[in-house]
Amino acid sequence: MSDHDARPRAARILAIEDDPDITYLIRFMLERQGYDVDMRADGRAGLDALSGPVPDLILSDIMLPYVDGLELVRRFRAHPDWENVPIVMLTARSGENDIVRAFDGGADDYIVKPFKPDELLARLKRLLKRAPA
């Protein structure tokens, strides 16, 4: 294999979403772009990810069973290895208070459902370019 054929490691994205249809869409979109996707179906499973490899980006809903997305952001930011991982909230909650709370808690971006797939991918790519290696 030549150097030209060698590819860098695919970016790892931790996605926490409880809606099966949106989970399917996110996984399909991200894997099609070449990302390594770790899907978690609820907040407790999202917290369990803290014991695994550090992702390059986190995509999370706010309204999740067991532990909500705002608490996840707080817990991820409190972990020394995860404190600088870009976090994007992807949620149906469009109220100003929710958006402000997410940013105050440490989220890097906030996208309201229903979302435009190309816009989501563009925002993720932007944050992944800025993420520490």
Q: Is residue 131 part of a domain?
A: no
For residue range 76-114, list pLDDT tens digits in order.
999 999 999 999 999 999 999 999 999 999 999 999 999
Percent of the chain whose predicted confidence (pLDDT) is above 70: 92
Q: Is residue 27 part of a domain?
A: yes
Q: Is residue 48 part of a domain?
A: yes
Q: Is residue 4 part of a domain?
A: no
**Contacts (Cβ under 8 Å, ≥6 apart) of 29:** 117, 120, 121
Mean of pLDDT over the chain: 92
Q: How far apart are CA 90 and CA 8, in angstroms?
A: 27
Domains: count for the chain? 1
- Cα dihedral across residues 114, 116, 120, 126: positive or negative: negative
For residue range 42-65, list pLDDT tens digits in order.
999 999 999 999 999 999 999 999
Q: How far apart are CA 71 and CA 85, in angstroms?
A: 15
For residue range 6-48, list pLDDT tens digits in order.
556 789 999 999 999 999 999 999 999 999 999 999 999 999 9
Give me the CATH number covering residue 114. Answer: 3.40.50.2300
Q: Is residue 133 part of a domain?
A: no
Domain that holds residue 118: 12-125
Q: Is the pLDDT of residue 2 over 70?
A: no
Q: Is residue 5 part of a domain?
A: no
The full 3-state SS of 23-69, as one line of letters, equals HHHHHHHHHHCCCEEEEECCHHHHHHHHHCCCCCEEEECCCCCCCCH
> What integer pLDDT is reported at residue 8 of this predicted model?
64
**Contacts (Cβ under 8 Å, ≥6 apart) of 20:** none
Q: Is residue 18 part of a domain?
A: yes
